[in-house]
Structure 1
Amino acid sequence: MTSPPCAPRALDGRAAVVTGASRGIGRAIAEELARAGAALCVTARDTEGVRETVAALRAQGADAVGVAGSVADPAHLWEVTERTMAAYGRVDIVVNNAATNQPYGPLMEAEPDAWRAAFTVNVEAPLRLVQCAWRAWMGEHGGAVVTVCTEGAAHVGPNVGAYGTSKAALLHLTAQLAGELGPLVRVNSVSPGLVRTEMARFVWERAEESVAAALPTGRIGEPEDVARAVRWLVSDEASWITGADLLVDGGTRVRAASPTGDAPAVQNRLRYHLPGS
Structure 2
Amino acid sequence: MERDEVGVRPLEGRVAVVTGASRRAGIGFAVAAELLAAGASVLVHSWSPADAEQPWGADPGGDAGIVESLGGEGPRLRHVAADLADPRAPELVVGTAVRAFGAVDVVVANHARGSNQSLAEVTAAELDRTWAVNARASVLLAQAFAAAHDDRRAGGRVILFTSGQNLAPMSQELPYAISKGAIHQMTLTLSDALVDRGITVNTVNPGPVDTGWADPDLAERVGRALPAGRWARPDEVARLVRWLASDESQWITGQVINAEGSFRRWVM
TM-score grouping bracket, smaller chain normalisation:
0.7 to 0.9
What are the superposed Cα offsets for residues 155-203 of structure 1, whole Å, 9 maximum, x if unpaired? Answer: 21331111111111101111110111103210001101111113x323x
Report what 2:228 is aligned to.
217
Higher helix share: 1
Aligned with 2:32: secondary structure?
helix
| C-alpha separation in 1, matches of 2:113 and 2:166 | 14
1:242 and 2:244 equivalent?
A: no
RMSD over aligned CA atoms reads 2.3
Q: CA deviation at 1:135?
A: 0.8
SS of residue in 2 equivalent to 1:95:
strand
Counterpart of 1:84 in structure 2 is: 97
TM-score under structure 2 normalisation?
0.85
Determine if contact 1:42/1:50 at 8 Å carries over to the other structure: no
How far, CA to CA, are the matches of 2:220 and 2:99 in structure 1?
47
Amino acid at match of 1:27: F
Please show how residues 150-229 of structure 1 align to structure 2 within 5 Å: 150-183=163-196, 184-198=198-212, 200-202=213-215, 205-229=216-240
The Cα offsets for residues 72-95 of structure 1, whole Å up to 9 and x where unpaired, read as 213222222221111111110000
1:57–1:63 contact (8 Å) kept in structure 2: no
The separation in 2 between residues aligned to 1:85 and 1:61, in whole angstroms, is: 15
**Change in 2 beyond 3 A, CA 1:236/1:139:** closer
Task: State the Cα distance separating 1:207 from its structure 2 match.
Answer: 4.8
Amino acid at match of 1:162: P
The answer to which of 20-29 and 217-226 deviates more is: 217-226
- The answer on 1:73 being equivalent to 2:75 is no
1:219-239: CA deviation from partner (whole Å, max 9, x where unpaired): 211111111111111111111
Whether contact under 8 Å (1:154, 1:168) holds in the other structure is: no
% same residue: 36
State the aligned residue count.
249
Paired amino acid for 2:148: A
Q: 1:244 & 1:62 partners in 2: Cα distance?
A: 33
**Counterpart pick for 1:130 among 137, 142, 153:** 142
List structure 1 runs of 4+ shifted beyond 6 angstroms. none
Residue 123 (structure 2) aligned to one of 111, 124, 139: 111
Separation in 1 of the partners of 2:113 and 2:90? Answer: 17
State the TM-score, normalizing by the size of structure 1. 0.83
